[in-house]
Structure 1
Amino acid sequence: MDIGSLFASEIQYEEELVMGLKLKLKPRDSGQLDTEMHLTLWPSAEKLCSLIPTLIPPTSSILELGAGTGLVGLFTAKTFPGSTVLITDGNTESVDLIQENIEANSLNARSSHFLWGESAGSFDVILGSDVIYDKDFIHPLLRTISLSLNSHGFSILANHTIRFNPLQRLFFEVAARVGLEVETIESNPIYIVRLTLKSN
């Protein structure tokens, strides 16, 4: 994918993402069109999108945490139209933008404002891209995942190693404390983990 092509002058545009799938994406404002910033953030989301078709059952209840632009959730909803997708973020402007993108693409999804730390419901799959970036948010993030997974569910998180590696030990310690088992899928340059509830 040509990342630079995402930041054209048009307010709305269509962009090929993964495996020929196209989504209409709208930037929040001109201040978001910072190529350097998005080059830092997009590879994890891109990598996660590339794995979704093979990792997720086609009719699942899916939650995206810390969605930002909502790319992962939007891609998932378009890939699996039979699934229900809830795309969440802690920023209300991002939530409004995501809802516009959902409607523009006629997707079976909805957006919602959500702060980590409590249950968001009960889901088969929980996704997150570049959500591990600050030690103070690791416990709220993992607690939400632990409380929001159904008994047979799983979570896939993708994070650039630049951000994840300094927090890796804490991440694994907190995951164990909140009842999550962690499996490393990939570790370079994007660190991808699969989390499930510990068996009783």
Structure 2
Amino acid sequence: MECDIVILGGGPGGYVAAIQAAKLGAQVVLVEKDTVGGTCLNRGCIPTKAMARLAEIYNNLKNAEDFGCFAENIGIEVKKVVSRKNRIVNQLVQGIHHLLDRHNVKLISGQGEIRNQETVFVKKNMEETTIKTKNIIIATGSASSLLNIPGAGLENIITCGQAMQLEELPRKLVIIGGGVIAWSLPSFLPISV
């Protein structure tokens, strides 16, 4: 396979660069090892905001009595909350796929490896693809790392991404970290933190 530009990473830097390059006439291949959209769309900003909407509605209902409105038996069905969040994320991911298709950007799923200044090798499961290119853009973003502390590998230790997929809430939760997502988790998890 040959193209003008290979972009490694399908997050906001990668897919936007791919679309812009295609608009300018380049043949573009976008390589993504996970899901297009990056951390913000799939496990960060967007999911936390979708879940934060739950907290807003829940708190409004809990405090409705202050405004003369009475609501009883207010509860949360976590599976529906997670399902709604997943629908929002999936809709946005599909939107990116549509934009890539519309601009003739070829999306290859797999782990990219730069072999030299004009060759990118992509591997996924047993499939391997070699791409010859004139230009390479590295837009791989970043990923959180697990702390190397005693107990970090225990079964009940989860990442923020896993916390947003829980279909049953734990009674209590300890959050280690001070990033934006760590700070937002308590706002939409109605449990003791």
More strand by share: 1
- Relative contact order, CA 8 A, sep 6+: which one is greater? 2
Rg comparison, structure with higher value: 2
Fold agreement, TM-score > 0.5: no
TM-score normalized by the length of structure 2: 0.22
TM-score normalized by the length of structure 1: 0.22
